[in-house]
Structure 1
Amino acid sequence: MFVSQAEYFWDTDPGAGNGIPVLATDGNFNSAFEQLTKTGIATPGNGLHKFSIRIKDNTGVWGPVFTNVIDVQQNQSSTLIALAQAEYFWDTDPGAGNGTPVLAADGNFNSVFEELTKTGITTPGNGLHKFSVRIKDNTGVWGPVFTNVIDVQQNPTSTLMALSQAEYFWDTDPGAGNGTPVLAADGNFDSSFEQLTKTGIASPSSGLHVFNIRIKDNAGVWGPVFRNVINVETQIPTGCWQSINAGLNHSMGIKTDGTLWVWGDNRYGQLGDGTTIERNTPIQIGIATDWQSINGGYSHTLAIKTDGTLWAWGDNRYGQLGDGTKINRFTPIQIGTATDWKSIRTSGYQTLAIKNNGTLWGWGYNYWGSLGDGTNIDKLVPTQIGIGTNWKSVELNSQHSLGLKTDGTLWAWGLNFNGRLGDGTQVNKLAPVQIGFDTNWQSISAGDDHSVGSKTDGTLWAWGGNSTGHLGDGTIVEKFVPTQIGTATNWQNVAGGTGITFASKTDGTLWSWGNNSGTSLGHGSINGTSYFTSPKQVGSYSDTMQISLGYYYSLVKNNNGDLKVCGQNSYGQLGDGTGYSKNMFTPINCPLNCPPPTQFSTTGVTSTTATINWTASTPGPNGGYMYFYSTHPVVGGIDGTTFLTKAPLTNLLPSTTYYWWVASDCKSSEGNWISGGSFTTLPTTETGCWYSVSSGNRHSAGIKTDGTLWTWGNNDYGQLGVGITNAKNKPIQVGGMNNWLKTDIGYYHTVAIKTDGTLWTWGKNDYGQLGDGTTTNRATPTQIGTAADWVNITTGEYYTLALKSNGTLWAWGRNNKGQLGDGTIIDKNIPIQIGTANNWKMISSGREHTLAIKIDGTLWAWGDNWGGKLGDGTGTARTSPVQIGTNTNWQYINAGYSHSIALKTNGTLWAWGRNTAGQLGDGTITDRGTPMQIGTETNWKSVGAGDDHSAGLKTDGTLWAWGYNNNGELGDGTKTNKLTPTQIGTASDKQSITVGIGNVFVINTAGFLTATGSNGSGEIGDGTFISKNIFVPVGCPTSTVLRVDDVSTQSDQLKVYPNPVQDYVTVSFDQKILLVTVYNAAGQLIVTKAINDIKGTIDFSALPSGVYLVKVNAANDFVKTVKVIKR
């Protein structure tokens, strides 16, 4: 948004829009940041006044009023006047001219600047006094009084007098000793310097008021009054939080009204709002007002309601939600039926909880034994830990757990590296073990590699890892048993994080120590200090009640329910509406409820369009409404915003069910997503046109059923093959031929085979990947050799492989990892045969590795082997084909960026290589060096491997996808990675699939093409440059009709001459000519030439006589075709 208007007013607010306009310095309001001019601003009479300014954004919303108190002095002369006299007085003003004279240091008042002498100035009795000086200019005008408070000591001593009392009053002085008492911050007046507390200070009504404070020393003498003018504004109280909690990168809180609010990272649905959209301000979850406690792990959340029921949502890969499944949940679901849950703690991927009867329960990830059940087996449902019934509290981090019993004893279990359990060893424990024999433990916290606790005597203890001083004992030496930190006996709450520790004292002060390289300690910028090895006080807070630490960020709540935050903020986890980190604590205002719209309906449904409608919320949101629509019943998909109560949807798929949601945008907070229901588009009588499609790195190609070839997307190196290098966001025809059979796409080059068996390439050629014997880029299809027996092609990053009809294998291009398979790492710029075998059946190239199947069903691989993507069990690159295993039933292969995927003749799915985002589909993120079966299904039909994602079709026509999804490439309406094959939609008409880098294309049985994922270069082909997370249609383009126009017209100034022609045709235009293509009378492409000027020539001299069509493409999408006769 940008500023559209500004206004000012003095003292009284006339209402938004009724103030006096203020102009922008540059004369235009057209930016989010504008400098205003003071020109035209009138001033009121002399005295104190409130000057206020207000701005309006381009959506018509007026912002808050910014006010400042100004002492207006009219008619100030710009000419300085010489001084003529000066006087002083103590405490009481005797009136101008009645004070005691002060002399000029040089003996004469004759300049505009005079230094005064202290000679002759007498002092009053001991104590605090106001010393005042007043000067007169040579026109006889006395100026204002300059006053300073001085503590007069006649017989100076080295000891200042202690204070004994303080009081305040507003506006009118009730007399010394009659004001309202003000307390000392430490509770006692016993020092000459005291910090006063604001607790108990009441404020008057809104407006300008004089706030006064006066202090008395221990001799009973009241000092002068200290005054300040304050503009008292009625404000909404900021304190509203009952409890707060920080997960890994998401935050949550319960307000005093029992409502639940969340913000931050939401990739796994851990916020519980039904989406995977991160939030940088708190949003309310549902409308329930009975939430009691909440706790967040790495990417999941659990909460307890006042009725004792347990609820969970978010990531569930290890069963950490406790619902008996491994299915992620995007909204709160109740866990079991128990109503006696008392407290909950979760971290990493596991959860611990205590019931009212004092029993301990655990579930989720248990590799390190952190659940404490004596095993390291994950649990999918709450499982009782031991038989103890006296558990008081429990804390855990991702790998170890701590617990307190009602008898004050301390227990620990799980990973014990660095001695974090505190039992004096580094031996892991699968069940709780008592730590020492003390029975006075009060609070505990488990950090990333350390533990911290306080005892009932107020002492602080820590143990475990200490590489950044986070134990606080002044060293960086790890400790294997609890070690007392300092000698203070007023520690209260503790919190351990990743290399940092926080604690509060009984006086409400906040302290932190440990790693200072981030921003989460709250000390601001302290250069040269990488860590603090002992507790350091944070600010001057005196009311700290609760501390919660996430991954390098911190949340702190005070006694009044105010929330302060600092640290990392890349996911919006601080909740301040930005993505900027903070190195000092920043207050977060209480979010306001944001009512949702109601009464939803869908109208005007056709095969490709619909309109969604709703009734406005009351009150209406100042930010309008947000909406989503998707082919999946999970909030997400394609988004939009509007200030209306309806939204038209276009470019929909026929015979497809869509789901939609609406939420209010209240600016300071966002409302809940409310389902508007679903609708199904009408069927269409049209048929599709697509035969095949291929996709690479930001560009795509497709062949229509009529044999024409079309390309779209990035075109930096001419890889679209249309003679120019402009990107296209929808299909454009390559030439006019209709005999294209197959295409495949590399990073920046394209390869195709025609029905006559000839091979053609174009695009980038820096490694010889086009195979034409050069390294020259080509912007139009170039035939490679004269062979007419090519049957299959595949492209890698900068290389190409192909099969001939005799079963021989050929390769060319880059060979740095041996990906060509010729036994060398030398690049080739023409096709060379790989070995002598003539039984190759199928080939597929990834970034720098190649897979192949022979006629006998054996699997072979070569090239780069990073992550084990060759499947031979090593990480060693191979420069010639090596057989993978001994199986002879391999049917289909596809090589991705760093992983491989294949099918066997029995319909089973297999994968290997890198697995960082779950692209193998085995439910983990563990790399695999040999083929492993994915699931048990035997009905896989075809599969594709992309960058870090995969997709496949089953024989029943359904579509499945898994792996990386940050670009929406899986098409499920979210941006959440999937670790196992996930069905996309419900349609069962899918015919073929192509997986590119960051996207997926599917053709159905009717020939319709749809796509999802990255679209920054227009590679999806839907006419936009906006990425999609659901499948959208790619329309059927119409072949160019070579309409014959006039040779020249006055309207567009295109000239093609001479006509008839014998040798050269000149083409000129009043705009830049991009491309000229020449076709014969049969529509076959004869000549293509890039002009990039307003005039160019085409050589006709070698063409036979006849009629030709000259097609001119110029700037601003100008296209015209002219008939030319060759003599």
Structure 2
Amino acid sequence: MMRLQKLKLTDSSGNTSCSPLCGRSGFNPTSRAKARPAEELHKCSQECSDTRIGGGPFATHPHPNPPLEREGVWANGLSRIVSGFRLGLVVVLAGVLTACGGGAGSASGGGDVSIRAASLVSPASASATPATTLPAAPNVISITSGNGEITLTWGDVPGATSYNVYYLTYPGVRTSNARQLVGAVSGNPITGLTNTQAYYFAVTAVNAAGESVASSEVTAMPMPALPGIPGNVRLVGGFAEATLDWQVVPYATSYNVYYGISPGLPNATSTVITGVRIPAQLITGLNKAPGRYYFRVTAVDASGEGSPSVELAAIAQGTFKLVSGGYGHSAVVRSLEPALGGIAGTVWTWGDNSRGQLGDSSSKLGKPNDSFTQRLTTAEISYVDRVSAIASGYHHTAVLLTDRTIKTWGMNTNGQLGANGQLLTHSLSQPATNTDFPRSVSLAPPAMTAIAAGFQHTVALKDDGTVWAWGYNVLGTLGYASMDCANPVYGQFFWTCSDVPTQLTGITGSVAAIAGGYSHTLAVTSDGQVWAWGRNDTGQLGTLAANCNRSITQMLPSILQAQALDTVFDPATQACNTTPTPVNAIPGSIVAVSAGMRHSLALMSDGTVWAWGGNYYGQLGYTPAVNLFTNSDTCVVTTALTMPCSYDPKPVLGLDHVVAISAGTQHNLALKGDGTVWAWGYNAMGQLGTGAAAGFVYNQTPKQVPGLTGIISIAAGAYHSLAVKNDGTVWAWGDNTQGQLGDGSKTNRSSPVQVQGLRWPVVIIPGR
């Protein structure tokens, strides 16, 4: 038979007596209504010592040992009783010892039994001391939200046998006012909570001595597994920009906005703007080809990022990407994708218009030659669109259209417009006709894939890898024999030219890239071999070979000086090749070429640049010494002039990771993959963009153009330079005597200035 232990009690007068923990209905040893005499307490003690386990409020605490007969020894019995009441006993040492019934096996009533702490025998009067003290308050390590639940974790408290969690839906949690979870386990979620409702928590530790003070209060809010999907998403277009807005997602802490040129966002090519705090975002710099952009938004909260919204699309109607520079004029193409009535590939021009090279005719008849007007500001021209490539010569412009046809306008002295007899005659009494109206070039079938413009000739590449050329041909520039052209504008003298596009022969392999120089031409075949033809007085053909010596006594120096072309001509003969000739070997794979006045450039697949030809102003970029003749050959240009040069291609010093090149008259530009621009060569007009003072100055090796980043396209004019940034803006520097910098002035600039007046719309595509 198992029995309950008895306790020795001390009343308020200091008298001691035995009191059992009795389960009889109505028995309350600490009743404040009436003090019980000592003999009654002793009698009750005797009765309880014989009480069998099986009923009453302490039926869940059977004690296997016989009762203690000796009074005064209470510590063992009390500790056993208290320690066993994990489910039915809470000890508050500062107040009342409370035993709560209702454990397993309870058969009848019982109620609560309370014993005032002051009635317990003090340690001084007892024969033993308590075995434990109150545990320390737990330290809450983390609190995390879930879907309808919150998880608390806390560190172990030494000596604690269990833990209680208290919580409220408002701050100020105390053990006396909050909902209690007895026997809580660290790391186990507290479930059944309401999402988006804030909860406040505190934790206590429990051992045989009682319950600790509460931990510091912490708070969290149960949330769904992930935030909701933003709704009512809208897209509003601007100029090279768009604004996305959406409906607020409840309890989202921020939003992520995705955009890119490929559908199915987010994906590997998309850009993300994170941490957006309001339900709207302006997105700028929409200027990448092909011009179509896609947009989505997601909501973010503590649980993570939600699913993306519906995907919207827009067209950036104005990705200024293609840029070209002539002698005194400039042009850019607004590279577009047609949609919603937008016009794709329109051309904007500015600068010199003395030969109609701006193409801004107001009618299909064009203006008379003497009425062309210079323009210092940009303007979109009529009668040409769907342009995919553009090239500028000395005083003419050529464009390749998306249907693979070609249009030209401007100067036509040597048939460079390819009008097939419509504008050029061979009669001294009827001069060639210049035009500001874009005219189609006679090509059959129309299957061109690239275009290039030289001084006064034009070159095109066909989809079968063949090269076609027309225009000026005095030194074999076209690569084939042509008839004499009469030009009374410069006096009664003759040279060879053609206004009929004609296919070249003699190139082995399929051509992949072309370039037009002052009076020579370059082509690269698919196997990486460079071919060259035309003038070769300074080695610009990359070989000593020459099959012609053309007399140019008819080209009077005074006339050429008036045109600011090349003042070093004299009656001497000029070395040239009238048919394509291989350039001396360049190790590696060539991906692009560019031709200047008397020098040539090649871009390699490894990002390096090679150069050959004239080096009078350091345009070859590989002579670090002051003496330009060092490490160069000497070329006899005229009877009175020799020039440093090289017939063999050599690498340009200090250039790597280059993705594009462009050669001007006597200076060069290189675009690196990091969006920076590097320049070298002649700098008298500030065309290198380094901020150096004007004068007879040059850089023998490439130097970075300060202040230019994010560049995607470059072009070197005769004595000025152009660049397009990734935000769609166009920048220019160098010679501005004809307004070719587009800043509204005629002041030369040695540092880049932004071209004014270029704008483009972003048009929203409906139905997505």
What's the TM-score, normalizing by structure 1? 0.27
Bigger RCO (CA 8 Å, 6+ sep): 2
Q: Which has the higher strand share?
A: 1
